[in-house]
Structure 1
């Protein structure tokens, strides 16, 4: 028997009467009132190129829903952009905006008791936020990745004729600091770096999370990566508008899809492609919202035998459009084959194995097989040690291959601008281990930008000779010897809080260790004497966030949640 739509209220009730009056006045028909009512979650914004095309995509999705027999209701949410929203308070609004989006969707969709959601995903925080909202509300939902931008040729005496994109611009700031690029050269790059709408080119956080949505089974096969506004992207958006009606008919909800198997599959894709370091915190957060009994960090550690089968910028020379044309996420999953848990359900109402079975053969120049990988090591790893008892994440795919052990004196900063100044004034030298701390979700509060320093470091030519350890916000575009998502963060009293200048730090990527070279008694004594700094924040969103945010090891979600037997993540 078909499940009754939750949007249908009892005739004669006050809710039925006032809703009926509102919607008839908006032009809905008597027949429309009986149809499935679907939220089209649109984070369009004129602040950022990432979102400028979403209104047109939303219209196509809405029309597809109407044709398929549903009634679409477009709702708008916050639209955080890492390169725009990071300007205020040194990026502190970025991570909190993810959770603001989650609660925004809940308030609008759950408040209105709609029957399903189509979520238009774009920049870094929207995809995880939308996945988290879908997991929390657990009504039929489908994610639509809205695509990446492209760069173009950039001439100039300082660079010659070459293709430039936003990654080049990001790193070039360090080249200006180091004196190897003129300000005029950088200005010329900014004029050419972005041609058209969409998220950053490259396997940065946005494209990584688009791929995670597909790998989890929450986006249609072939959705990621995808060129923004391309015919294929628009066709998939329309297909999602049709498919949401099938999900409602079958009553297939996100928690049936977001199983431990789904998260393990997503991690396999992340590890073998070398996705953004930020995917791990976001996958943890989605699992928490789904109340799924899976330990993401333990599962990541268990996949350290998998090799890297793609090398997409910033991990290698291939561009994001090359990955799309080679087969994209679906191509990667077809290469993984039997390594995937094929019985996991997806929004196609088919299993992963069924979705992958008819995938075209991937282009081996871009997506290699597991037995002939680009690198024999995984693209993402977890390291532990007395500096990160709960672990830290390394995007091994973006670390220079020759660097597997690094030891040096600590250079401690609690402000990214001061660290960047150190590139100019000699405060940061080859052989140093830069500690960027008190920048985590609790310390900010709201994760403070550390990504610009890392980009500047690479641009200054120090990416292979200086290591960075941080609890701050990194970008998926970052490359170099970077240890991110250090857990516990410094503001929680993690050992990172008590590192001093000139302390010796050792990073061993082969052994997967991160060590402060002090005896346990010295570290324990420093931690006992440590006191958290007093934060003086005006009332507002960051103040609320600081009071509610949970540890990074719990995905930095808001509010305490039940623990779901993390050591017992059965399929």
Structure 2
């Protein structure tokens, strides 16, 4: 029996029916499956600006298939607007808020199923976490990427398109006199010509692609541009399909399994997805009660070469990816490596969904056998600096920097690092250490997007390496290692690094080491400091959140 019936049957629950009827619902509507349209629409985040229109399409699809839609909202913050200031501390914590909000609304009102509308960095994983936690029939619809800006001359990515991240990268060039203010401001006006999630493969588009790869979104839907009419058609079709899931009693945990998450991890490596996906996949696994850890992520990623050179790991954008065949084409190319019997929201298995898929541009989606560089898109590093693990993105790092050794230049937080970089304290060959920026110490594990972009803009992207217990943006390129675990606030080894220590990063060997004879002794003298000079939700978050190596989740069960 549908659970909405528990509170809508007459005469016992006429009081609830009366409240629905005060909104205009009829007896006929209240006798149908009740489906939530969970909408993160707002007019701040460009990736979510079009979700009100898509929600209408979803509602129409639900009604056409015999259901009754009800809609509620949740927050959707923009990482791009929060970069490089105190706002970034609040971004990752919104993931848990979103999951909690959805859980509370769905449980309080005993709603039968849900269609989730989101596009950007923490919203999509937060929604998928809620789906895994609630284990109800669920589908995610993303709003689609923006169309890219166009720049054919002096394009730093090497192609004809640009995206939002070029602006911050170009700030370093402006400061060093390598470009004029007029050229710089032209980028502001032309990098983002439409609404939608950023045109490159940052965390937003990565997570939308992985939602499709794991089977929680309709095939081929992740990369459809926000302004294309097909985006509306997908929203309508999703509204219809959710009724099929209710009828067939297919719930989120039937789809989100260890095998389907393994598929997503492999697709992530093939497309060169964001480092943030490590946090999010581990968090989704936690919510689904799946035993998946950082070592599993590293092992699965190492099996798959980087096939899709999207910005920042190449010159192509999500528009190119969509036109080349998108996620289904990548999964078809990887079919020998995937669990093809995994169930999806279509009610069919992966092998059925990708049977007719094809790659339409082999420069955008490379063949496995044609890839010279077998390095995967994501790598897990371990060593005396990160005994619990660290994350890097080989696909966004120049090949000459895959092995890097140099003296440490230590900054206690992001703002110190920004000031030091601007003051010329960082030289070619240095390893820039930015600590106290983990989930606890940040708090909120802010992204070191701005320091990295400044370095790239100054021509130092491959000549220095940034190492941090914070995160990086999916748009970052250059040499970087994040998620150093344990973090400094936990008494992790990164807190023992001193100015001038030689740090060795070896992506090929999967290691990150401090080469100092007394380093182990220094580490033994460290003490954890989880105190937080903060108030409100950030304080609560800092006291409850777990290590980045565990997905930076807030525990919500006894085991």
Q: TM-score range by the shorter chain?
A: over 0.9
2:498 aligned with 1:503: no
| Alignment deviations for residues 510-540 of structure 1 (CA, whole Å, 9 cap, x no partner) | 1111001124xx3333233223447454531
Aligned to 1:401: 399
Deviation at 1:156, TM superposition (A): 11
Decide whether the 8 Å contact of 1:43 with 1:54 is kept in 2.
yes
Q: Does the residue aligned with 1:378 lie in a helix, a strand or coil? A: coil
Query: What 5-or-longer segments of structure 1 have no aligned partner?
Result: 564-571
Does 2:139 match 1:142? yes
2:165 aligns to what SS in structure 1?
Answer: helix
Aligned to 1:566: none
Report the CA distance shift for 1:328/1:163 in structure 2 as closer, same or farther (over 3 A): closer
Alignment correspondent of 1:451? 449
**Where do 1:94-113 residues align within 5 Å?**
94-113=91-110
- Give runs of aligned pairs for residues 130-529 of structure 1, distance below 5 A: 130-153=127-150, 163-373=161-371, 375-519=373-517, 522-529=518-525
Give TM-score, length-normalised by structure 2: 0.95
CA displacement 1:314-343 (0-9 Å, x = unmatched)? 111122211111111111000011211111
- C-alpha distance 256-448 of structure 1, shift in aligned 2 (>3 A): same
Measured after TM superposition, the shift of residue 13 of structure 1 is: 6.6
Asked if the contact 1:310/1:374 (under 8 Å) is kept, the reply is no
CA distance in 2, matches of 1:469, 1:157: 29
**SS of residue in 2 equivalent to 1:366:** coil
1:58, distance to aligned residue in structure 2 (A): 0.6
C-alpha distance in 1 between matches for 2:553 and 2:465: 29
Aligned-partner Cα distance in 2 for 1:536–1:307 = 41
- Choose from 38, 48, 52 the match for 1:41: 38
Query: What is the rounded CA distance, in whole Å, between the counterparts of 1:436 and 1:299 in structure 2?
Result: 24
Task: State the TM-score, normalizing by the size of structure 1.
Answer: 0.93
1:108 and 1:377, CA in 2 relative to 1: closer, same or farther beyond 3 A?
A: same
- Per-residue CA deviation, residues 20-70 of structure 1 (Å, 9 max, x unaligned), is 011111111111111111111111111222211110111111111111111
Shift of 1:374: 5.5
Which residue is equivalent to 1:18?
15
Q: How far has the Cα of 1:442 moved from its partner?
A: 0.6
3-state SS in 2 of match to 1:106: helix
Give the root-mean-square deviation of aligned CA atoms: 2.1
* 1:445 to partner: Cα distance: 1.3
Question: What is the CA distance between 1:451 and its match in structure 2?
Answer: 1.1
Report the CA distance shift for 1:385/1:158 in structure 2 as closer, same or farther (over 3 A).
Answer: closer
**CA contact 2:125–2:284 (8 Å) conserved in 1:** yes
Match of 1:546 in 2: 542
Deviation, structure 1 residue 352? 0.8
Structure 1 residues 471 and 90, CA gap change in structure 2 (3 angstroms): farther
Following the alignment from structure 2 to structure 1, what is the Cα–Cα distance between the partners of residues 194 and 490?
Answer: 42
Is 456-465 or 482-491 further displaced after alignment?
482-491
Residues 10, 320 of structure 1: alpha-carbon distance in 2 compared, 3 angstrom cutoff: closer
Determine helix, strand or coil for the equivalent of 1:93. helix
| Residues 379 and 391, structure 2, Cα contact 8 Å, conserved in 1 | yes
CA separation of 1:499 and 1:251: change in aligned 2, threshold 3 A: same
Query: 2:362, 2:161 → 1: CA distance?
Result: 24
Unmatched segments (≥5 aa) in structure 2:
none
Note if contact 1:410-1:502 (Cα within 8 Å) is conserved in structure 2: yes
Shift of the 84–358 alpha-carbon distance from structure 1 to 2, 3 Å rule, reads same
What is the distance in 1 between the residues matched to 2:162 and 2:373?
Answer: 26
Shift of 1:192: 1.2
Deviation at 1:293, TM superposition (A): 2.3
Q: Is the 8 A contact 2:301 2:377 kept in 1?
A: no
State the match for 1:123 in structure 2. Answer: 120
